[in-house]
């Protein structure tokens, strides 16, 4: 598992923050959108394999739609006014001290 920020908004991979799914989603809704996301990712792979640029464009749009529905992209799912730092290096954010304090074992 990857370390998750104390507020549960992001997880960290190779020093970069990635937004977590909205924890307020019901399990059924979350499962639905994860399934849609996985299908869309397979469609991306397939479109790349056969070099179909139109299918690739559509598949990537489906990936984006699923990620937005999950809360991983688009409007943030929290309401305290905090800025979104998705895809930023953790060392350049307010999470830098938290991350620097993690032990080596939790970073693997």
Q: Are 51 and 2 in contact (CB under 8 A)?
A: no
pLDDT tens-digit series, residues 67-106: 999 999 999 999 999 999 999 999 999 999 999 999 765 6
Q: Which pLDDT score, from 0 to 100, does residue 1 have? A: 82
Return the residue matching tokens 């299918």: 55
**Residue 107's pLDDT band (cuts 50, 70, 90):** low
Q: Which pLDDT score, from 0 to 100, does residue 105 have? A: 59
pLDDT tens-digit series, residues 40-72: 999 999 999 999 999 999 999 999 999 999 999
Q: Are 83 and 75 in contact (CB under 8 A)?
A: no
Contacts of 88 (CB under 8 A, 6+ apart): 16, 17
């Amino acid at each position: 598992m990857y370390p998750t920020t104390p507020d549960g908004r992001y997880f960290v991979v190779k020093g970069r923050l990635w937004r977590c799914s909205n924890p307020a989603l019901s399990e059924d809704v979350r499962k639905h959108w994860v399934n849609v996301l996985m299908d869309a990712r397979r469609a991306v792979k397939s479109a790349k394999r056969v070099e179909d640029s139109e299918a690739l464009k559509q598949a990537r749009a489906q990936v984006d739609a699923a990620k937005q529905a999950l809360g991983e992209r688009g409007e943030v799912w929290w309401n305290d006014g905090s800025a979104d730092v998705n895809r930023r290096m953790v060392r350049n954010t307010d999470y830098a001290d938290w991350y620097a304090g993690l032990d080596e074992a939790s970073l693997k």
